[in-house]
Structure 1
Amino acid sequence: MLKTNSKNYDKLLKINQKLAHYESILSLLYWDDRVCMNPESAPYRGKQIAIITEYIHKAKTSKTYSNLVESLNLDDYPKYSPQWVNIKWWKYEYERNKKIPPKLISKLSQLIPESLQAWEKAKKEKKFKILKPYLKKIIQINKEMIQKWGYEQEPYEALVKNYEIDITPKQIETIFCPLQKSLIQIIKKYQPTLSQKPQTFNFDQHKLEQFCKYLVKKISNLNIRLDPTTHPFATTISPFDIRITTRYNKLESAIFGTLHELGHGLYDYYLPQHQYFGQPISQSVSLSIHESQSRFFENIIGRSLPFWKYFYNQLIKYVDLSNITLEKFVKYINKIDLQPIRTEADEFTYNLHIILRFEIERKIFNENIQIDELPELWNELFKQYFEYYPQDDSEGILQDIHWAESLFGYFPTYTLGNLIAAQLLNTISQKINIYQQIENGQFQEIIQFLKENIYLLGKTYTTNELVQKITNEQ
């Protein structure tokens, strides 16, 4: 390795570490927007975010930054070393960033806080037209970005690359198609028996919040903050400052929203951010791996009988379940029904919710579906898939926050994460008596396995490489 390259590496490292502090500020602003902020302040918050985002983008596409990135050579460092990983990702991100004008980034960043507040209002009032003007602008900006990024097979591919660099929509389609076909056939065959009257539980929100906080602490043994919000999410403000949210509209939504976001939170907490702050190697591999962690804790752990053999007696201290036995409760949380809301769907039908969104996103960006057509397109596809027509926009196109936040290309990672989570269970079960430990309320050995094989590796490997390394499977 040349001395010049070593000095340039150090210079680039310092720039990225400084910018990482600005990105931490952005995370805090976004968290506050979703949890605490007065909705009337959205335009001002948008300007704050836009100013910081534009500054970061300009810094990462400047002539100085460009010269430093281009001076570094991957061959000067051992493959998979921290330096090699950082340079690989700095080069990839620079090639993406330099194609997008700072003003376009600023425009989108300023729009998102207003769009999120519009989504909240639209969802509450069940009126898509409230979100429509914001979503129209967001889609248009994404189309402009696609043209600037370019693509090989289809426009939508450019957006998927924001979350998965080595998986294309065509490859996703080959996974989704047989899954979609078999799920729809089963739903059509058993539809009359799948539609069940939902169970309702009476609970005091404050007590349920206490139980959810107890879950977080018992499983993680960490100080992870939990707050209420309209749509659950997890975020990292800085190393060790991990914050998650859930919603308390239903008992099961609160519990499984908490477990889902805790899976994200554990991954973020144990990433090597303290050791490698501001470096790509301290970041997560991809959204598919991230979602594998959230779905692992939500479903594979959280819906299991052993989990509730331990936690049920704690739950009934907070929630009145006097008429429901442990066995009936576990059966209920694992029931299969045609739930119209993705975040409340069972494991069986959940992937069909994702495939529907994947199909619509491809139509938006590959076929130029107009925004006025989206609610009806959603409802018609939902009818085809689930034998159910959404009652209103809140049950339909407004149920997710992702599009209002410009997260196009994100949805496929949920199903990919589900599949990876199942592979992880198979691998972990060969090394640990996982369900016996869960029944005993012991999670540290499970978390230690995930730390050693996923969390602490950061962005060293791609999704495909990491799955192959852990499971010996594709």
Structure 2
Amino acid sequence: MFNIKQSNTEKSFLEFVQKIKAYDSAQSLLYWDMVTGMPEKGVSKRASIISLLSTEVFKMSTSDKMKEYLDNFSRQEVNKDLDPVMKGIVRECKKNYDRFKKIPEDKYRDFVRLKSEAESIWKKAKQNDDFNLFRPYLEKIVDYLNEFIDIWGYEGNKYNTLLDHYEPGVTVEKLDDIFTDLKASIVPLLKRVKDAQDKPDDSFLKEYYDPATQEKLCELLLEEIGYDFKAGRLDESEHPFTIGINSGDVRVTTHYYPHNLTSALFSSLHEGGHAIYDQNIDPELDETPLHDGASMGIHESQSRFWENIIGRSYNFWKSYYGKVRKLFPEQLNDISLDEFYRAINKVEPSMIRVEADELTYNLHIMVRYEIEKALINRELEVAELPEVWNQKMKEYLGIEPENDKEGVLQDVHWSNALFGYFPSYALGNIYAAQFYNTIKKEINNYDELISKGHFQPIKEWLGDKIHKYGKLLTPTEIIKKVTGEEINSRYLIKYLENKYSKIYKL
């Protein structure tokens, strides 16, 4: 598609970049194995191996050889002749070079090892409801991040540097405005929903649902929406995730709860959305830094699109509810399609982010966003987290966790030092609603396709408009190219108001 032409120097550079990607792929495979069933006693040594491989990537990415390539390609007489793909690869390599060159190699190696160990400790802390077990690891991670930010430099808020890692162009100032608008619309709508007389009954979703049968359902729905099992697999982990080993191996995980049908179902659709994106990036971008999503926000737009806009729609279940009833006849035989649809879209403030309904989900993100900002700006100590978390949950959602397992310990992200990542979930919801507004205009029979389970035209539209470009285009370029405007939260607000006004007969 991109018709890449290469000089000898470019070929040499690509070989160097491909070697870096090979190390990355090895790390990804080792990580997947670590969190999907590796023996507990192997964690320490596995963390050391991952740290070693990551250090090699660090060395190569910041090496004199990399600098020589980047200096050559930055020369005007050379740069003007580079094709868009090569310019994109150079751009991403330079961004990594500039970001990590000033960090001492031994410090980076220790940081990677810390993250690997921290995730294992987080898992144990969550299982045992013991925040103090995880606390010293999180304190070290926050210290590292602050040290790195001081090295990298920042404009305005220190948190901006971390935001830029996941959503280039987005700042605290922009996010504060976006979240203010969302809150101003969501909170009044949430109150109207709470006051509604006709509320859905979702008690039947909490009966016993055999995990093995849940797995069959998740595999069925993933295959139906276009996830390629010949280029991936579905496994179980404590926290659902998607990981790309390479273009032909993009794996997803979920977690099965015997008394919760929807958790694994919708997390599978969510991760499937991520994976379909990765599986359909143009093959010519494989083994380069461009074989990735434009940003985490754009990536989340795809997962939230499949999980919510399609997966929680009435038309989707017109096609698939019959199959679900056959798998779980005792639980669902007396439940109509309308009752099932209303139940899976029930609005009820939840302690757990990944189980939150569409309406309250962004409030969960705001809680995490405000806490992260405060931690990075040294306005909050890690030791204060459980108390502050509970206070903010009460302020935003009107509920308070009974323990840290369902509170501050519920997410894996901080153990992996993914500060600045959470806002991408909210941005993903906004992007998804914008894409939805556009796709309905461009695919005339969109609703009919969904109701018949014919997703190929939709998958192809997303592939042509978004997926194939990988990281070649910036998130701003993607959203403007597809929708004709910059990020605009009014489409999400309109979508939520229309949907929940009908469900709750407001």
TM-score normalised to structure 2 length = 0.89
2:123 aligned residue = 120
- Tell me which moved more, 68-77 or 316-325: 68-77
**What do residues 422-445 of structure 1 show as CA deviations (whole Å, max 9, x unaligned)?**
011111111212221111111111
- Tell me which moved more, 19-28 or 98-107: 98-107
SS at match of 2:359: helix
CA shift for structure 1 position 355: 0.9
1:62 aligned residue = 63
Change (3 A) 1:303 1:190: closer
1:435 aligned residue = 447
Amino acid at match of 1:28: L
CA shift for structure 1 position 182: 3.4
- Give yes or no for the alignment of 1:264 onto 2:274: yes
**What do residues 208-249 of structure 1 show as CA deviations (whole Å, max 9, x unaligned)?**
101111111122162131111111000011121010011111
Change (3 A) 1:197 1:374: farther
CA shift for structure 1 position 472: 0.4
- Tell me which moved more, 76-85 or 215-224: 76-85
SS at match of 1:72: helix
SS at match of 1:280: coil
Query: What is the distance in 2 between the residues matched to 1:378 and 1:198?
Result: 27
**What do residues 267-313 of structure 1 show as CA deviations (whole Å, max 9, x unaligned)?**
011112x3232223322210000000000000000001111010111
- Tell me which moved more, 121-130 or 419-428: 121-130
CA shift for structure 1 position 10: 2.6
1:361 aligned residue = 372
Amino acid at match of 1:254: A
- Tell me which moved more, 191-200 or 214-223: 191-200
Consecutive unaligned residues in structure 1, runs of 5 or more: none
Query: What is the distance in 2 between the residues matched to 1:422 and 1:78?
Result: 38
2:211 aligned residue = 205
**What do residues 87-125 of structure 1 show as CA deviations (whole Å, max 9, x unaligned)?**
222222211121222222211211122211111111112
Q: Is the 8 A contact 1:12 1:69 kept in 2?
A: no
Residue from 236, 241, 247 that aligns with 1:239: 247
Q: Is the 8 A contact 2:227 2:276 kept in 1?
A: no
Q: Is the 8 A contact 1:188 1:387 kept in 2?
A: no
CA shift for structure 1 position 197: 7.4
Q: Is the 8 A contact 1:184 1:386 kept in 2?
A: no
- Tell me which moved more, 451-460 or 411-420: 451-460
SS at match of 2:251: strand
Query: What is the distance in 1 between the residues matched to 2:31 and 2:122?
Result: 15
1:280 aligned residue = 289
Q: Is the 8 A contact 2:317 2:451 kept in 1?
A: yes
**What do residues 399-420 of structure 1 show as CA deviations (whole Å, max 9, x unaligned)?**
1111011111000000100000
1:389 aligned residue = 400
2:235 aligned residue = 227
CA shift for structure 1 position 186: 4.3
Query: What is the distance in 2 between the residues matched to 1:440 and 1:74?
Result: 54
Q: Is the 8 A contact 2:200 2:342 kept in 1?
A: no
1:418 aligned residue = 429
1:31 aligned residue = 32
**What do residues 355-406 of structure 1 show as CA deviations (whole Å, max 9, x unaligned)?**
1111100000113411111110111011111111111101110111110111
2:3 aligned residue = none
Amino acid at match of 1:447: K
- Tell me which moved more, 171-180 or 411-420: 171-180
Change (3 A) 1:308 1:129: same
1:17 aligned residue = 18
Q: Is the 8 A contact 1:202 1:319 kept in 2?
A: no
Q: Is the 8 A contact 1:166 1:462 kept in 2?
A: no
2:502 aligned residue = none
Equivalent positions of 1:112-261 (< 5 A) are 112-187=115-190, 191=194, 199=203, 200-220=206-226, 222-223=228-229, 224-249=232-257, 250-261=260-271
2:483 aligned residue = 471
Query: What is the distance in 2 between the residues matched to 1:136 and 1:192?
Result: 42
The number of aligned residues is: 469
SS at match of 1:235: strand
Q: Is the 8 A contact 1:74 1:84 kept in 2?
A: no
Query: What is the distance in 1 between the residues matched to 2:12 and 2:181?
Result: 49
Q: Is the 8 A contact 2:202 2:344 kept in 1?
A: no
Equivalent positions of 1:253-402 (< 5 A) are 253-272=263-282, 274-320=283-329, 321-402=332-413
- Tell me which moved more, 24-33 or 87-96: 87-96
Q: Is the 8 A contact 2:183 2:363 kept in 1?
A: yes
Change (3 A) 1:36 1:27: same
How much identity, in percent, do the aligned residues show?
38
Change (3 A) 1:222 1:190: closer
- Tell me which moved more, 433-442 or 100-109: 100-109
SS at match of 1:400: coil
- Give yes or no for the alignment of 1:409 onto 2:420: yes
- Tell me which moved more, 397-406 or 312-321: 312-321
Consecutive unaligned residues in structure 2, runs of 5 or more: 1-5, 487-506
- Give yes or no for the alignment of 1:86 onto 2:89: yes
Q: Is the 8 A contact 1:80 1:460 kept in 2?
A: no
SS at match of 1:41: helix
Query: What is the distance in 1 between the residues matched to 2:7 and 2:336?
Result: 64
Amino acid at match of 2:312: R
Query: What is the distance in 1 between the residues matched to 2:150 and 2:345?
Result: 44
CA shift for structure 1 position 467: 0.2
Q: Is the 8 A contact 1:74 1:88 kept in 2?
A: no
